[in-house]
Amino acid sequence: MIRTVKDVDLKGKRVVMRVDFNVPMKDGVVQDDTRIVAAIPTIDYILKQGAASLVLMSHLGDPVKDAKKAKEKAEKAGKAWDEVAYIAGKHRMRPVAAYLASKLGCPVVFAGEDGCFGKKSFIEAQPVGSVIMLENTRFHKEETSDDPVARDKLARELASYGDVFVNDAFGTAHRDHASTASIAKFAPVSVGGFLMDKEVRYLQPMVTNPPKPMVAIIGGAKVSSKIAVLESLLKNAAALVIGGGMAFTFLKAQGHTVGKSLIEDDQLDTARRVLAAAKAWNVDIVLPVDHVCAASFAADAVPVAVDGQDIPDSLMGLDVGPKTLARYREVLAMAKSIVWNGPVGVFEFEAFAKGTGEVAMMVAEATGRGAMTVVGGGDSVAAVNKFHLADRMSHVSTGGGASLELLEGKMLPGIEVCR
């Protein structure tokens, strides 16, 4: 586990806190405040403890990469390109600061659009108890630099703004950036916030010592992106439910026909290796036994039921069938803990959303029976939100890549600095 804000005295201390306010924006307006709301309990606690000041820092998109893409798009279209104007209008934290102020019910002072350097005197000039928001950390190349000397330049500056560093940005915990990890080298004290603590408390046990029997539901498009998760969870799982596009690579590895379904031919040996390992560990691998297919990958494609594991050459699998769902229900009924990463079908298309919706309901019902249920990964989170079941899970992770890497058993830089 990690040390948290509750383990240090914050009264009269200057606190610099990394949050994950990388939220979707449109015309300067916050479109989804999930990550902002998730940080508020830690912010409230710090202020109530009598901190002298609270400096918040976050990235918002990737200005350098986005500018490059926009430039290429403009040049391709034969349009004039003004990088200064482009950058000036995007990725700015000022509107996020204003939005946070409305949620907190107190002012949030924006430290200015000239970047994160040289703000110490500005911060110290603010009244006691002030909340201050820095500009987007990724406007500085040092934030994400592979050169530790360059990274340390920004990290040292950010650390000078506080007596205590608090990392509550789980969504970036897998990044070794200046504001997420390097800063801890220069901060007198480094701890985690409540969000970081909750993520670690729920996700890490799924890899180390989950309540047993544990069932892992792993879906999504590709085996290659989930192989490390599969191998990590094998040692503690009673069953691995494999769905989504990646299931077809496993089915083909077993000798089944999969039609036009998504396949990674270069991962067939990997699938066979996982199947063999599961057999050695006495872990039940649950693959689809029937499908909902279509002739094309399209929202208006006509669903075709296929009663069996083999898919005709003219069709592609886009969802699981009723017999598969019955098997899922049977396996999940015995689980004391469930970790779910990745949908079991193309839930974005209404005609092929039933499987993922049913799985979401099964996991919610398991929570009601007392099982510990953890949902991680962007698509899985989107699914439970779509089906309005997020509040019926034990924990829904705020980090896509971070939750995936934690489930892989990796040590994440942004977490390690809080230990």
Catalytic (active-site) positions: 35, 222, 378, 401
| Among candidate residues 168, 188, 163, the one with its CA nearest the CA of residue 179 | 168
Residue type present at position 44: D
Beta bridge partners of 189: 164
What is the C-alpha to C-alpha distance for residues 90 and 11, in angstroms, rounded to an integer?
36
Enumerate residues 6+ apart whose C-beta is below 8 A from 99: 30, 33, 36
What is the C-alpha to C-alpha distance for residues 208 and 323, in angstroms, rounded to an integer?
32
Q: What angle do CA 241, 205, 171 make, to 5 degrees?
A: 85
Packing angle of the helix pair 94-104, 34-48 (nearest 10 deg): 60
| Among candidate residues 277, 231, 225, the one with its CA nearest the CA of residue 246 | 225
| Token pair in block for residue 209 | 């010592």
Q: Distances in Å between the alpha carbon of 321 and those of 260, 289, 378?
A: 17, 8, 24
What is the C-alpha to C-alpha distance for residues 15 and 54, in angstroms, rounded to an integer?
5
DSSP annotation string for 293-342: EESSSSTTPPPEEE-SS-B-TT-EEEEE-HHHHHHHHHHHTT-SEEEEES
| Token pair in block for residue 266 | 């270069």
Q: Biggest alpha carbon distance in the chain?
A: 71
Q: Is the peptide bond before 148 cis (omega within 30 degrees of 0)?
A: no
Q: Distances in Å between the alpha carbon of 29 and those of 85, 96, 100, 399?
A: 18, 8, 12, 22
Give yes or no for a contact between 117 and 157, defined as CB atoms under 8 angstroms apart.
yes
DSSP annotation string for 171-184: GGTT---TTTTGGG
